[in-house]
Structure 1
Amino acid sequence: LSVEGTNDYSFLPSSPTNDNWFDSGTSVSVNVQKTTEIEPNKVRQEITGWSLDKSEFWEIEDDGSTSFTTPPIVLNEYHQIDFFTEYQYKLNVISDSGETTGSGWYEQGVTVPIGIDAGGDGLILNSLSEWEGADITYDGNTAQVFIDGPITVSAKVEKNYSLLIGMIVIPILIIGFIGFKKFKNRAPPVIVEEKPVERIVEKVIERVETAEKKYEDGYDKKLADYLSEQIQTKLDEMKSSEIISDSKYSKIKEKY
């Protein structure tokens, strides 16, 4: 019984002469390792199928196991088993921040989608600035890379402080509006002159009834509407730029 296509195999049962010769009528299986490493963590050879006497071909399924065993072959004459292989190359997708997707072993000529969830640290968000290491087609946080050999690609991430700044500016605007409104509504002090009581009462009543009007009608509402519009505009800009997620956008909008 001869075996072609790989050197990493064994017979079950083994040959009584410790080679590939067996007694007539013996049923023999061939056990083979599916993967042979050619260059560590870069290139490997994967067995994908086998044939018996070059007349029948069977595909070897990827079931997660590291070895494959053929069905028993009755040796009442000469037989030959051929194993068919393909080269696979390692794709490494790395980044200093966040979690990447797409790393693994792939055959030559395929296009593999890769990506990154940049994450963040509280209100300081991370955003993808560029991919490095290969000819990559990308749009936003997702990209594709063509496999023509072992490849390592790196996602470059930069800090984004827009959300933090927005969360600082928005409360300041709100607090300033509230403080301004309280200051505006504060009653002016009443100066008591040395005059008869009747004149003092008359003066106070006069001030209350004829207080000088400093602001046009609806000023408070116009100011409140303006500040609300500015806050909403800032939130919409951060959402459209994907600085904040839809869920964070909804929570902030409900709060303010």
Structure 2
Amino acid sequence: MARRFDLTGENITRRNAQRDTYGNQTPLSSTAVERGSTRWLSGSYVQIDGLLDVNGTATVGGVLSVTGTLNASGQINLSGSTGITGPLNVTGTTTIGGNTNITGELNVTGPTTLDGITDIGGDTTITGLLKITGDTTVDGNFEILGNGLFKAGETQIEPTGKATFGDVIIDPASIYLMQTPGGWISGTGADDITLASSLSGSVSMNGTRTELDFKGQKITLTVADTIISNRLTVQGAAEIMSNLVVRGSNVTLTALPTTTLPGNLHITAAGRLYRSTA
């Protein structure tokens, strides 16, 4: 009697279900291909749910899309245009040999060394410390905003305009416009300035007078063509081209040469001197 098959049994039903689900797929548990090739034609789809380990060279002629994390432990060579729309974190040494254009924001949190020429065409904002050990050339305006200071050795310029150059201080907001170890220049108004030494004296000028003070001995020139002095001493020849008026109750002439000739000096009641011909 011939053997009969039950086409409605459990085994046949399970096989039909697998056929409907997987079609003509052939599951491979372990496969080695030597000197051969595997090709998936257009419209094919390859899905790897486990680990893909490539020990040789992998060539992608189309688009390589990575939606997860891409970890690369070796060298990465990019010869064409590379577009990165998300954050790029590089923890190791990175060498870029060609031109690099960055249109978005570049954040660098670690030390950065630039050995070549750095050309920045737009605005640059530095919120931390900027340290320059070499020569610096500025071919434009150099402006420090806010309450910053300009320091260079013994030179310091403050936001108020006060400038210190070693022992020399220039301060437009102070009565002492310039201070030096040997003296100072001071001013109290638009037409009042004094040049003074630290020990000897001073010269003061304003709209009404000019005063010379040497160790307490003062000579004052006024707008009325007047010389005011508590003591005026002339050593050497003095020539007065106009009238000389001496107002005082005591006029003393000392060290005059002597002569036996009769006197020829006449003084009027008004105190005027004449040479007498009588």
TM-score by length of structure 2 reads: 0.22
Q: Tell me which structure has the larger Cα radius of gyration.
A: 2
More helix by share: 1
More strand by share: 1
